[in-house]
Chains A and B, each alone.
Chain A
Amino acid sequence: MVDFSLNENDKNIIRALRKQGEVQRKYARYYDDHEEELAPDEFPEAAEFDYIKQMEADRGHDGCTPTVFFLLKTITEYRGDFLRLRLPPYALGNATLASVGTEEQQKKWGHMLLAMANTEPGCGSDSKAIETTATLDGDEWVLNGEKIFVSHGVRAGGVVVWATLDKSVGRGAIKAFLVPKYAPGFILAKEEKKMGNRYSDTAAIVFKDCRIPRENLLGLDETIKTKGGGGFKGLMKTFNLTRPFVSARGIGHVLACREFVTDELKKEGIEIDWEVGQYKRTAVQQKLIELEAELEAATLATMHAGWLADKGVYNNLEASVCKSKAGDISRKGPQLALEILGASGITHDQLVEKWFRDTRATDIYEGTAEIQRLVIARSILNYSSQELK
């Protein structure tokens, strides 16, 4: 049955997570101001909310399906200003390990926080153009190249590095390697300063004759595929899993903005009457409706992508649909919120300006707005990546 309601168990968990979020928010400003400090694993009051883990363990099977529930949870956590990004399995490297690693590899490294290194100074969204190389030397892989925008690259225990076995081949030669932080030749070159998401570190890493054991190739497949995607498909598969979650994060921040605006205007006596026609609404009320409608659209598209994943349906298209929509609202939403709030909204006293800066990244990382549209267009037009560039 088509249903968009939550049962009591799930509602209670969301309520508890919102409460936890109110506490986490107290620290949001500090770690935004102190970019150089590593946020702690847990916020000081974390233990008071241990009961949420128990509630989750007890929620039974009649609630939302796992991915949908996890998306709802992510939205709520990011609404609260999430500080615990560094704990596994939240990092992209962990998601890659889960989708392309062998069972043994997953067991060996699954507990570690794993960053993912894909982007290079010369390529971003065009992942197949990467130039970092991996060459087999005896029983070791030797990596050479430079990776940038590595989220959690500073704190992670290891990094999943995408490198090519043969630059002349293209996608079929691109493989993922697990590189522990202290492998010889692993050079942490730089910690980036960013517009937002300052609690989370972003690194530039150089691999200079960096040597790792042969068994650190994720999936252990050393063959170069001259046809098809090869290891590159694993990268894309990772994105199918993670795009809805990136969407959920953006949605969470926009939700925070929307709620802040609604609450503040309510204090001033401005509320939306949901049933009246447009003649009886002010321009501000109309903007609020637009903000909420776009947010709803992104949320439902994200839930749909998650729901398909839970059904075991291939959701490449829907993952990009939700990311495209959530990317859109992650830019438009906070902009609209600040437009409504006026000058006081941009001050350091409020978190809205921080959410604006934080969530701007949603439409960039794990595939820009434009890449999502390419993926969607290829899918509906039945074009390959060669046919539609």
Chain B
Amino acid sequence: MISFELSKEQELVQKTTKEFAAGELRNIARDCDEDNKIPQKVLDKAWELGLANAAISEEYGGIGMERSALTTVLICEELSYGCATMASAIMSPSAFIQPLIDFGTEDQKKEYLPLHAGEKFKAAAMALHEPQFTFDPTDLRTRAEKKGDTWIINGVKRLVPFGDTAGHFLVIAGTGDAGLCGIDAFILPRDIGGLTIDSKTEKTMGLKPLPFSRLSLDNVAVPDTNRLGGDEGIDGRALINSVRIANSAICVGLSKAVGDYAIPYAKERVAFGEPIAKKQAIAFMLADMYTETECMRWMVWKAASQLDQKVDATKATTLACHYVNQKTIQIADNGVQVFGGHGYIRELPLEMWLRNARTLSVMEGMVSA
């Protein structure tokens, strides 16, 4: 039955996150971007609310909230409404945690989930992106070969968030044929032999403060027990779709932020004797921002609801991501345009949002729904 009705729990989570983002994130976003710093205090505050790890069950030390991709996309949108960079930072360990909840064996859950069930931010990340310009999760250059009870992994990963401090990585590698069914995820401690983490963090156009690392894997040998899901492995589609759709949800929050921020400015800014909002050229731009943001959200919800229903969400995810990536950059770009020169000056957030939009909309993602 087609319904846009959130559960009471989801409404509460949405409200809590919205308040947190308004109170704690929006006001620090510019400073974070200028100083390239992610304040630990704010990360910890977010984690006190359990935004990224609430779905860890009580037996592993968590809260045991229902595991729901839809709830996660709500959180991502609301956090990103405050700041897309902080949203990505706060939620980045979810790309380690959620796949473990979804696909981990009993032993894997017992070993790793309690490490991340606490009320303080603890870095862990998915290592997915690769340096080649033709990067595509269906055709990874990082490969894992099985030799006896051991997997030998070779390849290079980049844009791994918190690579400098993460205790564990979930490295995505090709093990079978091309396609999302031919990938596997391996749990790697940071001190494993053969893994080199570049000491310099990567500099990026957007999401600037996020410490991104480059990981080189040179004949890294991990036991079979570190292959996520054990003998059964993972559902590669569900894993990648969850990452893609969470990234899109962050884009939705950013787009909504741009639209909402432009409205009061357009009503105040006077040109040729009247507010620019009264000119159709501006008013129509604002109307389209609103329309597209609405459409983007429903497409993200559809894919997330399919993930929750455990049906193949690949098509819904691809459509949503395609749409969201295109519209986000358009909205952020028009945001700068409404503000004119002020949009280009680093005092206001518009130029930062545009850089963030371009960055997010070309990434697969670093958060999992």
Chain A contacts to B: CB under 8 angstroms: 1-7, 10, 62-65, 68, 72, 274-277, 279-280, 289-290, 292-294, 296-298, 300-301, 303-304, 307, 318, 321, 324-325, 370, 372-374, 376-377, 380-381, 383, 387-388
**Is the CB–CB distance between B284 and A4 below 8 Å?**
no
**In the assembled complex, B139 has its CB within 8 A of some CB on chain A:** yes
User: What 4 pairs between A and B have smallest CB-CB spacing?
Assistant: A277-B136, A297-B295, A300-B298, A377-B283
Tell me which residues across on chain B come within 8 A of A279, comparing CB atoms.
134, 136
Known: A325-B291, A377-B287. A275 touches B237 (CB 8 A): yes
Q: Which of B291, B306, B309, B315 has the most CB of A within 10 A?
A: B291
B133 to chain A, nearest CB (A): 9
When A4-B305, A290-B322 are in contact, do A321 and B3 touch as well, CB less than 8 Å? no
Count A-B pairs with CB separation below 8 Å: 153
What is the chain B residue whose CB lies nearest that of A321?
A: B291
Contact B2 A4 (CB under 8 A): yes
Complex formed: what's the CA distance from A307 to B290 in Å? Answer: 19
Bitwise interface map of B from 305 to 332 toward A, beta carbon under 8 Å scored 1, else 0: 1100101001100111011000000000
- Would you list 27 pairs from A and B whose C-beta atoms are within 8 A, ordered by A residue? A1-B3, A3-B2, A4-B302, A5-B1, A5-B305, A10-B1, A65-B3, A72-B2, A274-B315, A276-B179, A289-B322, A296-B323, A297-B295, A297-B298, A297-B299, A297-B323, A300-B295, A301-B291, A301-B298, A303-B2, A318-B294, A321-B290, A321-B291, A373-B284, A374-B287, A377-B283, A383-B277
Which B residues fall within an 8 A CB radius of A? Answer: 1-7, 10, 70, 134-139, 179-180, 237, 240, 259, 263, 266-267, 277-278, 280, 283-284, 286-288, 290-292, 294-296, 298-299, 301-302, 304-306, 309, 311, 314-315, 318-320, 322-323
B309 to chain A minimum Cβ distance, whole angstroms, is 7
- Which residue in A2, A62, A292 is a CB contact (below 8 Å) of B6? A2
Does A380 lie within 8 Å of B295, measured CB to CB? no
Q: Of residues B138, B286, B288, B298, which shows the largest number of chain A Cβ atoms within 10 Å of its Cβ?
A: B298
Q: Is the CB of A289 within 8 A of B138?
A: no
Residue from B2, B3, B284, B314 within 8 A of A275 (CB atoms): B314
Chain B, interface SS category: helix
Query: In the complex, how many angstroms separate the beta carbon of A7 from the nearest chain B beta carbon?
Result: 6
Known: A1-B7, A274-B314, A377-B283. A6 touches B322 (CB 8 A): no
CB neighbours (8 Å) of B278 from chain A are: 383, 387-388
Residues of A within 8 A of B302 (CB): 4, 296, 300
